[in-house]
Structure 1
Amino acid sequence: MVEQSGFLGAAQIRQIAADLGLRPTKQWGQNFVVDANTVKRIVRLAGVTADDSVVEVGPGLGSLTLALLPEAGHVTAVEVDPTLAQALPGTVGRLAPAYADRLTLVPADAMQVRELPDPQPTALVANLPYNVSVPVVLNFLEAFPTLERVLVMVQLEVAERLAAKPGSKAYGVPSVKAAWYAAVRLAGTVPRSVFWPVPNVESGLVLLERRAEPSTTATRRDVFTCIDAAFAQRRKTLRAALAGWAGSAPRAEECLRAAGIDHRTRGEQLGIDEFAAIAAARDTLPPPPSTNLC
């Protein structure tokens, strides 16, 4: 591991921010980690090795970046704040000069990133802005099939939703969509005290390990549209909730029957494979009769 002097402590982080004339903003969900043990824990739980090319979203002032660089073969840091993006290489050059050549900076909004320079990422490790955490994770899993695992720190409630299983209270759209790509589990919790400024919510670490996508004739887009419809009215039975998606309640019932699912079931009871089967079943039905407006 890098020597302790290579990590950023609370005083250093505040000094760097002051030198940049920067105050953390809610707009970009900036809460900087000021505890070296926390960033070391994140790197350890992510299982980062020299064979990994890591993408870090929102490196901020560089706390996690400095912990990743000695362990990974390469780190690509995606930062939307132009002030932070400009400052990061200098911070790495001062505190970890032996690893500066392992860093590539991409000044961009992670929500819009669909391509990255080589080497392509094998792991996403990040302290994600809470307001965009789920879309960022799903975007990167879709856009970068080379990603083998994801270890992110997010709002604890979001971590619990991502890792939730069918039938649980937290289970919902993020849970099912994440399961399309990966096996997901809650990897731990993080106290508020490790952040500056201190957030109003608890944080959690969630680990996603890539697995084969469900075997289905339906496209991912079709399956995700089915999931959205099912949870838009989650208290309704699937026969009712999927009526608009299928074309009518009777057609929804046909899809469910073809997929081997009781039409009285609710979406919160189904896993990703069952949603994939429902979406595939719709493709086997004849098109609904068109409405003649003449």
Structure 2
Amino acid sequence: MSDPETSGYLGAAQIREIAASLGVRPTKQWGQNFVVDANTVKRIVRLAGVDPQDCVVEVGPGLGSLTLALLPEAGHVTAVEVDPTLAAALPDTVARLAPGLADRLTLVAADAMQVRELPDPQPTALVANLPYNVSVPVVLSFLEAFPTLRRVLVMVQLEVAERLAATPGSKAYGVPSVKAAWYASVRLAGTVPRSVFWPVPNVDSGLVALDRRPEPQVPGATRRETFACIDAAFAQRRKTLRAALAGWAGSAPRAEECLRAAGIDPRTRGEQLGVEQFAAIAAARAALPPTDPA
């Protein structure tokens, strides 16, 4: 068996050995698909660009192949694992295969969807092979909860990766695209064949890179109201914004008033707007006087 402390990478046989020793098989309950290809893990670490100044948070470390690859590169790794068997085993796996790096690991046994605080050091990068069923909510909730996060490199279902990285006017553009753009610039960093996973999923995967940028500076626009506006616009994405935002604004005429105040043609559809324009609509609604009660 190669030494992860120096090589940092496990092969497929080693990963299956670890799983067998734990009596573990991937479960659909937690969307588990373990990466068994060392070159893919190496590629993720390289694209993540972590260095000894980084504290990486990894969601869903599983059997530890990515964790073991990150530990030699990062100053610290905080691994968040919901599966109690895997959570209990990961520190032992690291202590056995990379004892000199064990003090760089913190294990948080928790559902990432519920995590709003992490022990110090606070994360500067999120690097993970995310379960398909929670990938977008995890990325958005971590960007919201941890302003120290400067960048994200995650592997997700290819269709989800394309949605996150989509730009206004494109077919894949939607709620994930706009909300991710609130926090970061987003790009598709590569594709990953399904054959690198155990078990092999029915879809290919994509790597998404997000680099934190300042949130839209639109006076009067809060994240909460901007996101509510985005949700309303895409709930009826084939309708004009005048119609789609009627419920959110209070009425179609009031929606039109918000849109015109934001400098947007009421006949526009949501898929044509960027996040700054949605923020401008939210700010315009906040500035309107309240309607008289009926």
Fold shared by both chains (TM-score > 0.5): yes
Query: What corresponds to 1:120 in structure 2?
Result: 122
Letter in 2 for 1:149: R
Residue 11 (structure 1) shift: 1.3
Query: What corresponds to 1:66 in structure 2?
Result: 68
Residue 18 (structure 1) shift: 1.5
Residue 2 (structure 1) shift: 4.6
* Structure 1 CA distance for aligned equivalents of residues 53 and 260 of structure 2: 47
CA contact 2:168–2:271 (8 Å) conserved in 1: yes
Matches within 5 A, 1:142-153: 142-153=144-155
- Structure 2: which 5+ runs fail to align? none
TM-score, length of structure 1 as denominator length: 0.97
Query: What corresponds to 1:167 in structure 2?
Result: 169
Query: What corresponds to 1:77 in structure 2?
Result: 79
Give yes or no for the alignment of 1:233 onto 2:214: no
* Structure 2 CA distance for aligned equivalents of residues 90 and 182 of structure 1: 35
Query: What corresponds to 2:187 in structure 1?
Result: 185
Letter in 1 for 2:238: R
Question: What SS is found at the alignment partner of 1:111?
Answer: helix
* Structure 2 CA distance for aligned equivalents of residues 283 and 138 of structure 1: 24
CA contact 2:168–2:272 (8 Å) conserved in 1: yes
Give yes or no for the alignment of 1:10 onto 2:4: no
Give yes or no for the alignment of 1:95 onto 2:97: yes
Percent of pairs identical after alignment? 86
Letter in 2 for 1:275: F
Deviations 1:83-133 (A, max 9, x none): 000100111111111111000000000000000000000000000000000
- Structure 1: which 5+ runs fail to align? none
Question: What SS is found at the alignment partner of 1:50?
Answer: coil
* Structure 2 CA distance for aligned equivalents of residues 82 and 142 of structure 1: 26
Matches within 5 A, 1:270-285: 270-285=273-288
Residue 7 (structure 1) shift: 2.2
Deviations 1:204-259 (A, max 9, x none): 00000000000122210000000000000000000000000000000000000000
Residue 3 (structure 1) shift: 2.9
Letter in 1 for 2:152: V
* Structure 2 CA distance for aligned equivalents of residues 244 and 191 of structure 1: 42
Matches within 5 A, 1:122-137: 122-137=124-139
* Structure 1 CA distance for aligned equivalents of residues 73 and 66 of structure 2: 11
Query: What corresponds to 1:19 in structure 2?
Result: 21
Letter in 1 for 2:275: I
Deviations 1:139-165 (A, max 9, x none): 000000000000000000000000000
* Structure 1 CA distance for aligned equivalents of residues 252 and 68 of structure 2: 55
Residue 275 (structure 1) shift: 0.1
Query: What corresponds to 2:224 in structure 1?
Result: 221
Letter in 2 for 1:92: V
CA contact 2:12–2:38 (8 Å) conserved in 1: no
Question: What SS is found at the alignment partner of 2:96?
Answer: helix
CA contact 2:5–2:99 (8 Å) conserved in 1: no
Question: What SS is found at the alignment partner of 1:169?
Answer: coil
Residue 181 (structure 1) shift: 0.1
* Structure 1 CA distance for aligned equivalents of residues 88 and 53 of structure 2: 27
* Structure 2 CA distance for aligned equivalents of residues 187 and 196 of structure 1: 22
How big is the alpha-carbon RMSD for the aligned residues of Structure 1 and Structure 2? 0.9
